[in-house]
Structure 1
Amino acid sequence: MRFLIGIFSIAILLHLALLPALAQTESSGPETSLIADAGGSWAGKRSLIIEPGLQYMHNSSNRIDLTGLTLPGLVIGLIQVEKVRRDILTPSLSLRFGVSEFFQVNLRVPYLYRSDKFTNRPGDTDLPSRTTYVDDQGLGDIEGGILFHLLKETPSRPQVIAGLKAKSRTGRDPYGLATQLATPGTHVPAELPTGTGHWALEPYVTILKVVDPAVLFANLGYFYHMERTIDGIGKVDPSDSVNLSFGIGYALNDKLALSTAFEQKIYSRAQVNGNKIAETDPVVATLLLGATYAFSQRTAMNVTLGVGLTEDSPDLQVSINFPIRFSF
């Protein structure tokens, strides 16, 4: 299967979480990380981390559709200019349980609130533009995974963690959703998806190296979307992606730490009935800036800001999480 071609990277999407690698040093700074959502944060033996979180994402794009015949200097047909503004608010609950010193299980349950704004303007200037607002909400795609602690850190080698994450399709499918007429010849959604509509697997590896008072990390992996037969469409094979990220976390004092990371996802083209679909292979790159404030040895607050670096990336992502640790 294609997901065995590579190993997945840190996706994050950007959440900060506690990183035991810093706790293993003599540094008095708080634990910090930008790799919790990718499964790189290690809870520790017989420890449970409960992490409520909230993420906000904003994205906007412009699109011009040409329907008709295009000749040098002349377009015969209908021109549609569309502007899309999308805001997504995602509260979630994550659980990370360290079964042993070398094995951990993860679970994340998201819920999405979506608000999309579509502005359509026909190329004929005699026709006014029309703005349509669509709001929706629902359970997202639940994720679960396992982690294996392959190598402990020594003075001459880094810490290595490998894992596998599975994404369900508990969210609302993007297929067969109701639409509504926006302008002559143009329809926009009347309801919005909260999931991808496909199961997915995410094998990955995370490498960590403590350089007191900082932690260097890098992640590499492969996100594999499983194909599915959709009534009225056929066999749909969504885009897969190779994911890469790297960054640094550094403690300022015993309460505050900062993190900086770069994340990139390179997608393959989606296929329908074996035919590749154009414009379905974006390159997403994000700059991540994070901060961790430790209230105590058990609780902390993590804030992450993500800024898109390419046209295909979300314009802005902001998340706040509150990891709470319990030991047994």
Structure 2
Amino acid sequence: MGFNGYAWLALLALTTAQPLWADEPSVDEARDALSKKDDDADSAKALEQVFQAAEQSYTLLKKGERTLTYGFDYSLLRDTQIQSVRTGDEVYSVVTQAEAQHTFTNSFTFDYGIWDNLTFSMRLPLVAKYDTEREIDVYSLGDISASLRWQPWSSARGKPVTTLYATLGLPTGTSPYDINNNNDLATGSGFYSIGGGANMSYVIDPVVLFGSLGYTYNVPVSGLHQVRGGRELNKVDPGSAINLSMGFAYALSYDVSLSTSYQMSQSFKPTYTFADASFDGTEQTSAIMNFSLGLRTSPDYIVNINAGFGMTEDSPDVLLGLSLPLDIKGLKAP
């Protein structure tokens, strides 16, 4: 609602709330009545709140504040793998394996404000996977992750907001290097990961522009004894990755916003060390377009629904998601 809308409301209040014989208000009183108050609805503020709920990477809590968010995500990945399997001395056969993996993830994210400009987060995922081609399923804990988000400079109107972050991924899910690939599915990466980067956002009412750039180092895994293609796999160097994202959020009203983002990840060549030789894998490029709808159902309750699709062969084909805050008694700081 712009200035004209507030002016009409103020004039209506002046003409209906006072008797006709009341004294004519002064110029200062009229100016005060028509001016915008601090507690009036603000589209830019509402947009940023909805945006922050949808893009947790850009949200910082006040010192002592705590939030718990539930998220549900679904992804579909169709792939065909071609493997060379050794059946004898220097004799190989080509095996083609089709996959159609449906992944359902229920996650709980806890955020805690250490300082006003430093927030700690931890994410606990519960993963269910089902391969319709091979009729294999698994239900297990995924990889737990923790992060710190730090805002080195205070926010100022008309200037971009910069947030630095550091992440740690723990291999708590089922490792792909500890299973039989022909009969089982993995719910985790199988290795530790350490990452860092920067996020930026800029409000141009009624639009928020945002972007992110980061680097992830995946820690090599050793001491393996997994048979792959007739050979024993002993060590894996997953390779590092560079992550990039950009997009914008648009406020349709005080309570509804739309967000569009492009996310890209470039993973460098992994190295597989077998008992008798080492091989380099191929680089992977993942690119995803994502669309999100933010709905404010109450002053402190925002629900986000998102849908996306992969743009490369290394990306999931279909992505669906839902996130909402959980109000648990005693969770919020007094």
User: Which deviations, in whole Å up to 9, do the C-alpha atoms of 1:118-166 show, x marking residues without a partner?
Assistant: 4xxxxxxxxxxxxx31011100111111111112333453111111111
Q: State which of 23, 28, 32 in structure 1 corresponds to 2:51.
A: 32
Q: State which of 186, 201, 204 in structure 1 corresponds to 2:197.
A: 204
- The separation in 1 between residues aligned to 2:238 and 2:84, in whole angstroms, is 25
Aligned-pair CA distance for 1:82: 2.7
The structure that is helix-richer by fraction is 2
* Alignment-derived partner of residue 218 in structure 2: 225
- The separation in 1 between residues aligned to 2:175 and 2:97, in whole angstroms, is 23
TM-score under structure 1 length normalisation: 0.77
Once the two structures are superposed, the pairs formed by residues 75-224 of structure 1 within 5 Å of their partners are 78-118=93-133, 132-155=134-157, 157-178=159-180, 188=182, 190-224=183-217
- The separation in 2 between residues aligned to 1:195 and 1:230, in whole angstroms, is 18
Is 2:60–2:117's contact at 8 Å kept on the other side of the alignment?
A: no
- The separation in 2 between residues aligned to 1:161 and 1:32, in whole angstroms, is 15
AA in 2 matched with 1:239: G
Identity in percent: 22
- The separation in 2 between residues aligned to 1:66 and 1:148, in whole angstroms, is 47
- The separation in 2 between residues aligned to 1:203 and 1:260, in whole angstroms, is 23
- The separation in 1 between residues aligned to 2:264 and 2:248, in whole angstroms, is 16
Structure 1 residue 318 and structure 2 residue 333: aligned?
no
* Alignment-derived partner of residue 48 in structure 1: 66
* Alignment-derived partner of residue 285 in structure 1: 287
Q: 1:170 to 1:67 in 2, by over 3 A?
A: closer
Is 1:201–1:224's contact at 8 Å kept on the other side of the alignment?
A: yes
- The separation in 2 between residues aligned to 1:67 and 1:235, in whole angstroms, is 19
- The separation in 1 between residues aligned to 2:208 and 2:333, in whole angstroms, is 24
AA in 2 matched with 1:314: P
| SS, match of residue 295 in structure 1 | strand
Query: Over the residues paired in the alignment, what is the CA RMSD in angstroms?
Result: 2.4
* Alignment-derived partner of residue 308 in structure 2: 306
User: Which deviations, in whole Å up to 9, do the C-alpha atoms of 1:156-177 show, x marking residues without a partner?
Assistant: 5311111111111111111131
Structure 1 residue 58 and structure 2 residue 76: aligned?
yes
Return the structure number with greater relative CO, CA threshold 8 A, min gap 6. 1
- The separation in 2 between residues aligned to 1:28 and 1:91, in whole angstroms, is 27
The structure that is strand-richer by fraction is 1
- The separation in 2 between residues aligned to 1:155 and 1:322, in whole angstroms, is 28
- The separation in 2 between residues aligned to 1:79 and 1:48, in whole angstroms, is 54
| SS, match of residue 104 in structure 1 | strand
Once the two structures are superposed, the pairs formed by residues 224-303 of structure 1 within 5 Å of their partners are 224-232=217-225, 233-273=233-273, 275-279=278-282, 281-303=283-305
Is 1:173–1:197's contact at 8 Å kept on the other side of the alignment?
A: yes
Aligned-pair CA distance for 1:64: 4.3
Aligned-pair CA distance for 1:240: 1.6
Between Structure 1 and Structure 2, whose CA radius of gyration is higher?
A: 2
Q: 1:257 to 1:26 in 2, by over 3 A?
A: closer
- The separation in 1 between residues aligned to 2:165 and 2:307, in whole angstroms, is 25
AA in 1 matched with 2:244: L
Is 1:230–1:236's contact at 8 Å kept on the other side of the alignment?
A: no
Is 1:269–1:276's contact at 8 Å kept on the other side of the alignment?
A: no
- The separation in 2 between residues aligned to 1:309 and 1:142, in whole angstroms, is 27
- The separation in 1 between residues aligned to 2:272 and 2:319, in whole angstroms, is 31
Is 1:152–1:158's contact at 8 Å kept on the other side of the alignment?
A: no
Aligned-pair CA distance for 1:245: 0.4
- The separation in 2 between residues aligned to 1:154 and 1:309, in whole angstroms, is 36
AA in 2 matched with 1:317: L
User: Which deviations, in whole Å up to 9, do the C-alpha atoms of 1:249-293 show, x marking residues without a partner?
Assistant: 1111121111001010001011134945233x1100000100110
Q: Which residues of structure 1 form unaligned runs of 5+?
A: 1-22, 69-75, 119-131, 180-187
User: Which deviations, in whole Å up to 9, do the C-alpha atoms of 1:84-105 show, x marking residues without a partner?
Assistant: 1010000010011122211111
Is 1:140–1:170's contact at 8 Å kept on the other side of the alignment?
A: yes
Q: Which residues of structure 2 form unaligned runs of 5+?
A: 1-40, 226-232
* Alignment-derived partner of residue 182 in structure 1: none
TM-score under structure 2 length normalisation: 0.75
